[in-house]
Structure 1
């Protein structure tokens, strides 16, 4: 059948790869004049890497990643370590420069599949058996299909940056929690690092004349690693965005349209599952369309993905609230419990996310 993917981000490209692998004719329509990603970092957990393995691109994608120990290294803003990564006990994440992950996926598709400068907000404009709406948190297709659904909600604000090769200290990945803020670090290939400062904010859309100086001010009393990484980042490379998410939708499908990724279930990044869930969506959708009519396949996709997305949304919101909380008692509780928490408990907490298995292709 003919499938059109609206949106050329990580989820959309993965969907196009998976749909082509199952024998469908695919076109990717992207409203931007060129296909590219922003200069920031992200990580993929084991569930997403398994999904990429299922569609045959996992090994090629891994070449663009670095192992991050963020899952096992937690400290306070005073520099006290509550937990340190231990090989064999803790599982590293695969950390990427977002643009390089995007480029690796893009390289898997023929140029003839890609059509830039093409905006779609009405599925009736598209000649296809199935339309995949992968057009992001502000999805025009979602607004058309579910006009009563709430707009994206504001959670907190976040600055991100990537250091130049060799410019910052070597890092292995860590998460630092402070009152009302956190600082997350990943290593990247090429002797680079990426970082993110998330901070509680009551009002969305707040900006600063010098975003780099604002981040430097906020981490002035934090561990030297955070200060050094910010200092090693070019001011023009600092990105500042509000963190948004979506309330659960009544369905992820309507007619011949399937919503995917942030268009369906944008979540805060605190669980590291935003891109992971979009990749899961892509492989489940392609597997569902492999051997069923469009109607049955999309019903199966909705049934498989909506409950999981609702669970991830709930968990990510809870962690986002904790990560940016200024409540003294929460920080005291974490400081007391995390150092003595058994590895089995931490693994059990991650299991519902990381142990997901993709369909067999």
Structure 2
């Protein structure tokens, strides 16, 4: 009995580490020819850090990243709309939220999983069931491999999903996202804070991910960007340091994407094949929960495999995870629309309503976010 994990992203490697901690044989197959530092920043919420505590790598992440003390939404001039202090949640759950470079997290996971367990240059071309117990994986390089179980952790454009669960649909958010990491000295009041500034059909965000290194992002509605594809125009009314932080980042280091998600699907498991992470529930990044939800998927498998054999674990996993994952996808989609309104009257009403939202409502929402799924 062994398990093939397709994809060596955060979800795939966290799952591999969970299997390693349970002494279950596995192999990770990754399309890339080498594991090199890529990506920008990532927020590991208190939910994700609870998982990494149980997988015994929390301290390494705390050392490599930067603690986030609050999550603040502002207008485009940095006037507050909502402020969420994370200390009460740290005290309740016993863990912190951490901002970290994606490459640093990937390095920690790769070291823990072991490079000998990761097969590179293995872009999947097909997977078929060859008997009652085995699947054969075929790769574009001509190699083949047989495994008893398959975990598809191969992202929003998952090949495993296309093979075993073909009736799925991606949704276009009609927003363009720019991301980058730069050396920058933030004003002291913004240290240890995740800030998101909402403008007219646009928004920016930033957080320090290590001493002197800032992860920033900027989003603009597609219809606006088609008229003017110069970020200088959209940043004219942003605070000077925000303009400087973004525009002084070398464009070669920018990551640009048209935002999409996966329209929620209810089938994540077929026989001994499951989907995990973005392959199962790709979300827009508006709640900072994409990777966190993949990490939670790995946690549920980790807990199930403590009590059940892999076949039973695979069967139980979707019913435990689907409700929360779909809640994240749907809520994130709504936030994306609300945060980038273009009508100034609606923007004003939105800001007023958010400012009047009771703290108890915010607390309830974050507690739901940070609470891990219970596994019987």
**1:10-46 deviation digits (Å, cap 9, x = unpaired):** 0000000001101101211101101235331110111
Distance 1:147 1:341, change over 3 A: closer
2:70 and 2:85 in contact (8 A); partners too: no
1:6 equivalent in structure 2 = 6
2:199 equivalent in structure 1 = 178
1: CA distance, partners of 2:203 / 2:286: 10
Residues 296-335 of structure 1 aligned to structure 2 (within 5 Å): 296-335=312-351
How much has 1:168 moved relative to structure 2?
Answer: 6.0
Residues 114-125 of structure 1 aligned to structure 2 (within 5 Å): 114-123=118-127, 124-125=136-137
Distance 1:143 1:207, change over 3 A: farther
Identify, as 1 or 2, the structure richer in strand.
2
1:135 and 1:262 in contact (8 A); partners too: yes
**1:205-224 deviation digits (Å, cap 9, x = unpaired):** x799xx8xx22331121122
2:149 to 88, 113, 130: 130
1:270 and 2:279 matched: no
Q: 1:185 aligns to what SS in structure 2?
A: strand
Structure 1 residue ranges without an equivalent (≥5)? none
Q: Which deviates more, 32-41 or 251-260?
A: 32-41
Structure 2 residue ranges without an equivalent (≥5)? 91-95, 128-135, 138-144
1:252 equivalent in structure 2 = 268
How much has 1:247 moved relative to structure 2?
Answer: 0.9
Number of equivalent positions: 353
1:51 and 1:279 in contact (8 A); partners too: yes
How much has 1:152 moved relative to structure 2?
Answer: 4.9
Distance 1:39 1:148, change over 3 A: closer
1:33 equivalent in structure 2 = 33
1:195 equivalent in structure 2 = 216
How much has 1:87 moved relative to structure 2?
Answer: 6.9
Distance 1:240 1:87, change over 3 A: closer
CA RMSD of aligned residues (A): 2.5
**1:169-213 deviation digits (Å, cap 9, x = unpaired):** 564331100111111111111311011111111499x799xx8xx
1:223 equivalent in structure 2 = 239
How much has 1:232 moved relative to structure 2?
Answer: 3.3
Distance 1:36 1:136, change over 3 A: farther
